[in-house]
A and B are shown apart, each in its own frame.
Chain A
Amino acid sequence: MIGIIRYGAGNIFSLTAALERLGIAYGMVNTEADLAQYDRYIIPGVGHAGAAMDKLENSGLVPAIKALQKPTLGICVGMQLLTSYSEEGDSDLLDIFPIKTLKFAGSPDHKVPHTGWNRVYPEKENPLFQDIPLGSHFYFVHSYFIEYDNSYTLAATDYSIKFSASIWRDNFYGVQFHPEKSGVYGETLLTNFSKF
């Protein structure tokens, strides 16, 4: 069963609705003691990365999250929290991935926020993207991105530059897009994660 880390950063109605549609069992993690009940975790998050990190620290869950051994998926800002630093709020983050979250420069051809459906290209073999064709579209809405990195980028997307649409290190995963809003392939990705 998936434990959703509750730390007050954003609405999770759409995420839980997607899990319910897919018949994936989930519960909520409010305290460290709740972690043991679950065999995998999702860290959701929307809004400001610095503010989200403050909330996560206030929850007291940071040391336990950094020590997690079970599959853990960060979504959107929940993924950015896994990196070392964000330009949003000049914030130090969890540093599970030693890479940074940066702001899109923005231009008339590449507006910010990066809003809409863009193509995602997995670059490594991983069950997270099983049964999802190369270059499938996923729904993004974000102004900050995780830099591309040979070691940690699991899937890449181009938007004026190549950035990390998905990252992977050991049991930790992240996706910048919103699988719960990304049509059939988004649902496939959530199902894949539930079966690790």
Chain B
Amino acid sequence: MLAKRIIPCLDVKDGRTVKGVNFVDLRDAGDPVELAWNYSRQGADELVFLDITATHERRKTMVELVKSVARQINIPFTIGGGINEIADADALLNAGADKISINSAAVRNPALIDELAKAFGVQFVVIAVDTRLNNGINTVHLNGGRIPTEKETLSWILEAESRGAGEILLTSMDHDGTKAGFDNGLLKKVNDAVNIPVIASGGAGSVQHFIDVFEQTNVDAALAASVFHYGEILIPDLKDILRGRNIEVR
């Protein structure tokens, strides 16, 4: 049986981890490679690096980061943030990234999904969707939830799937940062509607929230940042409890 995946997410700027990392025993909490290595040792199934660098040097710093991670980490990882064209994706693939995550660039130019899937295969293309309720309608947002678009969330996800998305990373901006649990209602609706894997994101605050998201929505993976970075939830403990609930984990 395919295991449900637990995915820590790391925010990176100029090649350094930027927020919310408070591990003990870490020589350098700002070193994404050391942090990644720690997570892989703890039993993380996959990692997501979200690059928020906003300079002209960004592609170069991302490629260097990806190479360092690929050299030292023995689990798969996804790179997101600022990927706008085929050349960005090509550079990251050749540096050892397993997947790339596209958000705004795909919303602005949906045909980019088709191009990426054709060039690299659907398994390489994760579409990240930030959603927020807008007048009671789940709406795709850009820039970390600040800018609403015209797109209704589920219809955009279905379009992304039909264009060649290999996986959906769905973040509820209404839940993100609340630590009140994942948006299980929306996640179930999306997960039931698509035939590609769905990663739940936004709202994880306790072990129970991971149990709930897997039991109530059957999504393939759950992503979180601060609960892992601050050591509030330890991955081996989380997996033991999930296993005890007959949720298949590695």
B71 touches which of A17, A108, A142 (Cβ 8 Å)? A17
Cα A106 to Cα B2 with chains together (Å):
14
Cα A27 to Cα B190 with chains together (Å):
46
Cα A112 to Cα B74 with chains together (Å):
23
A112 touches which of B40, B93, B196 (Cβ 8 Å)? B196
Q: Give chain A residues whose Cβ lies under 8 Å from the Cβ of B191.
A: 108
Cα A7 to Cα B2 with chains together (Å):
32
**Contact assessment for A183 and B75 in the assembled complex, using a CB-CB cutoff below 8 Å:** yes
A98 at the interface (CB under 8 A from B): no
Q: Give chain A residues whose Cβ lies under 8 Å from the Cβ of B94.
A: 11, 13
Q: Give chain A residues whose Cβ lies under 8 Å from the Cβ of B71.
A: 17, 20-21
A11 touches which of B40, B96, B221 (Cβ 8 Å)? B96
**Contact assessment for A107 and B45 in the assembled complex, using a CB-CB cutoff below 8 Å:** no
Whose C-beta in chain A lies nearest to the C-beta of B95?
A13
Whose C-beta in chain B lies nearest to the C-beta of A178?
B76
Cα A48 to Cα B164 with chains together (Å):
14
**Contact assessment for A116 and B5 in the assembled complex, using a CB-CB cutoff below 8 Å:** yes
Cα A47 to Cα B125 with chains together (Å):
12
Q: Give chain B residues whose Cβ lies under 8 Å from the Cβ of A47.
A: 120-121
Q: Give chain B residues whose Cβ lies under 8 Å from the Cβ of A114.
A: 2
Cα A21 to Cα B93 with chains together (Å):
20
Q: Give chain B residues whose Cβ lies under 8 Å from the Cβ of A158.
A: 1
What's the minimum C-beta distance from B128 to chain A, rounded to whole angstroms? 16
| A residues contacting the other copy or chain, number (CB 8 A) | 38
What's the minimum C-beta distance from B145 to chain A, rounded to whole angstroms? 26
Residues of chain A in range 117-133 having any CB-CB distance to chain B below 8 Å: 117-119
**Contact assessment for B123 and A143 in the assembled complex, using a CB-CB cutoff below 8 Å:** yes
**Contact assessment for B93 and A107 in the assembled complex, using a CB-CB cutoff below 8 Å:** no
A50 at the interface (CB under 8 A from B): no
A152 at the interface (CB under 8 A from B): no
What's the minimum C-beta distance from A137 to chain B, rounded to whole angstroms? 4
Q: Give chain B residues whose Cβ lies under 8 Å from the Cβ of A113.
A: 122-123, 166, 196-197
B3 at the interface (CB under 8 A from A): yes
B195 touches which of A106, A137, A178, A181 (Cβ 8 Å)? A106
What's the minimum C-beta distance from A21 to chain B, rounded to whole angstroms? 7
**Contact assessment for B2 and A14 in the assembled complex, using a CB-CB cutoff below 8 Å:** no
**Contact assessment for B195 and A108 in the assembled complex, using a CB-CB cutoff below 8 Å:** yes
Grouping DSSP codes into helix (H, G, I), strand (E, B) and loop, the A interface class, with mixed when no group exceeds half, is mixed
B247 at the interface (CB under 8 A from A): no
Given A111-B196, A116-B197, A143-B122: A183 and B74 interface contact (C-beta under 8 Å) = yes
Q: Could you give, for residues 198-227 of chain B, a 1 whenever the CB lies within 8 Å of some chain A CB and a 0 otherwise?
A: 000000000000000000001011000000
A183 touches which of B40, B72, B192 (Cβ 8 Å)? B40
**Contact assessment for B220 and A186 in the assembled complex, using a CB-CB cutoff below 8 Å:** no
**Contact assessment for A115 and B123 in the assembled complex, using a CB-CB cutoff below 8 Å:** yes
What's the minimum C-beta distance from B166 to chain A, rounded to whole angstroms? 6
Q: Give chain A residues whose Cβ lies under 8 Å from the Cβ of B76.
A: 139, 141, 178, 181
Binding site for B on A (CB under 8 A): 11, 13-14, 17-18, 20-21, 46-48, 106-109, 111-119, 137, 139, 141-143, 158-159, 178, 180-184, 186-187
Question: What are 27 A-B pairs with beta-carbon distances under 8 A?
Answer: A11-B94, A13-B94, A13-B96, A14-B98, A18-B74, A21-B72, A46-B123, A47-B120, A47-B121, A48-B121, A106-B195, A108-B191, A109-B218, A111-B194, A115-B197, A116-B45, A116-B46, A117-B2, A117-B3, A118-B1, A118-B3, A142-B123, A143-B123, A159-B2, A181-B98, A183-B74, A183-B75
Q: Known contacts A21-B71, A117-B3, A143-B123; can you find 7 more A-B pairs with CB under 8 A?
A: A17-B72, A17-B96, A46-B123, A112-B196, A113-B122, A116-B2, A117-B250
